[in-house]
A = this chain, B = another copy of it.
């Protein structure tokens, strides 16, 4: 479910970066500290009929930004990605989804740290799943939230 206050962020996630828009990504749910995203198989097939590795990576990378948008004050902070690992577990032969969430406690701790130090790292471990719920790829990444200069 998409919370009404995040309607603009849905458009932002789906369309603001051309390379992301080209994948056909859809935001399935967006709520406080929660996002569910989907990339369709169609238009993202590789030479052997499964979803291309680079497209799966994109689906694994976007949650770092999507969770930022629903957890932090976007006028005061901005996110960057530091590193991402992806392990391809089995062929992705359908549309693929990913879910990401943060606890209120973790957001509170991170907000304290970014206020104190100007930045804070956050790691996310994510499962990319096909339509039958099978995990097709495992993502582990580190993103960072920084204070907007002067904010």
Write the residues of chain A forming the contact surface with B, with a CB cutoff of 8 angstroms.
16-20, 22-23, 43-48, 52-55, 57-58, 61-62, 78, 80-88
Task: From known contacts A83-B85, A85-B85, infer whether A19 and B43 are also in contact, taking CB-CB under 8 Å.
Answer: yes
- Chain B nearest CB from A1 CB (Å) reads 25
- Chain B nearest CB from A54 CB (Å) reads 4
* Cα separation A111 to B27 with both chains bound (whole Å): 44
* Cα separation A43 to B22 with both chains bound (whole Å): 10
- Which among B22, B47, B61 is the interface contact of A22 at CB below 8 angstroms? B22
Asked if A52 contacts B17 (CB within 8 A), the reply is yes
Asked if A57 contacts B52 (CB within 8 A), the reply is no
With a CB–CB cut-off of 8 A, which chain B residues contact A86?
A: 83-85
Asked if A81 contacts B53 (CB within 8 A), the reply is yes
Asked if B54 contacts A19 (CB within 8 A), the reply is yes
- Which among B17, B23, B83, B88 is the interface contact of A81 at CB below 8 angstroms? B88
